[in-house]
Amino acid sequence: MPADTPAQLWRDALARDPARPFVTAYDGPAGGRVELSGATFGNWVAKTANMLADGFGTVPGERVALALPVHWQSLAWLVACWSVGAVPVLPADAGTVPDADIAVADADRIGAALDGGAREAVAASLHPLGAPLPDCPPAALDYADEVRGYGDHHTPVPAAADPGRPALESGGRTFTAAELTGAARALARTWELTDGDRVAIITSAREPLGALGTDLSRLLAPLSRAVPLVLTPSIDSANLQSRLDMERATALVGAPPGTPAPSGGIRPLS
């Protein structure tokens, strides 16, 4: 039976091969590279979910604002929210922090998160290797410091298996879990994704999670087929082609206007 919640999509993808790379991320045009296997990414997801549930007392249906750009840490927060039955709330633009029960923000927006009504404000450094945030405000929790103390295993709560529950607030509407997974499978069919694919997603450093689609289908479509991801910022076409070749990417999402079509059989995805 096909998975009908994002939490189950993740568990199914992880079960296929935990040692396989799940997300490879580049930090800036010439920055460092970090590769996380499914097992390693799952460890971050479990710790984050346990922090939400045990540390913050998050219950199903509570809202978690994710004022973060596209990054492997923000992906871990998304999956952790779905695992505890919380509803990720995406900002309308890169400079805002939505009102929510919990607010997670990068260094530029942690002040706005602290000024809001969330009972907990969490600062994410977005360091490629998960280092703490320098000069974290005293009133905020440093994600990298806090999360390490939580358990490495998490069992999704029963609410995470309910396809009819809200699973995302984005673009002025609320999506159920079934709507997210349905859109993901439809896009995976349109893109003709297979187990042999490796999808590169190009974003700017400040681009919010909405760059993955209002319904996050640019993330969930590859996840529905357990396809590894490569997150890379926009760089000049020659270096981009070299990077895609090195990563053995088979498809490309989010290329800025005017970017030359990639060669070597890499197909651009709309």
Question: Per-residue pLDDT tens for 125-182?
Answer: 988 888 888 889 999 999 999 999 999 999 999 999 999 999 999 999 999 999 999 9
Average pLDDT for 47-55? 98
Q: Which CATH class is domain 49-167?
A: alpha beta
* Mean pLDDT taken over the chain: 92
* pLDDT for the residue 154: 95
| % the chain with pLDDT above 90 | 76
Q: Give the model confidence (pLDDT) of 75-106 as tens digits.
A: 999 999 999 999 999 998 878 899 999 999 99
Domain limits, the chain: 49-167
* pLDDT for the residue 261: 73
Is 70 exceeded by the pLDDT of residue 31? no
* pLDDT for the residue 258: 65
What is the secondary structure of the chain as a DSSP string?
----SHHHHHHHHHHH-TTSEEEEEE-STT--EEEEEHHHHHHHHHHHHHIIIIIS---TT-EEEEE-BSSHHHHHHHHHHHHHT-EEE--SSTT-----SEEEE-TTTHHHHHHSS-SEEEE----TT-PPPTT--TTSEEHHHHHTTS-S--PPPGGGG-TTSEEEEETTEEEEHHHHHHHHHHHHHHHT--TT--EEEEE-TT-BGGGG-TT-HHHHHHHHTT--EEEEE---HHHHHHHHHHTT--EEE-PPTTPPPP-TTPEEE-
Is 60 exceeded by the pLDDT of residue 28? no
* pLDDT for the residue 247: 94
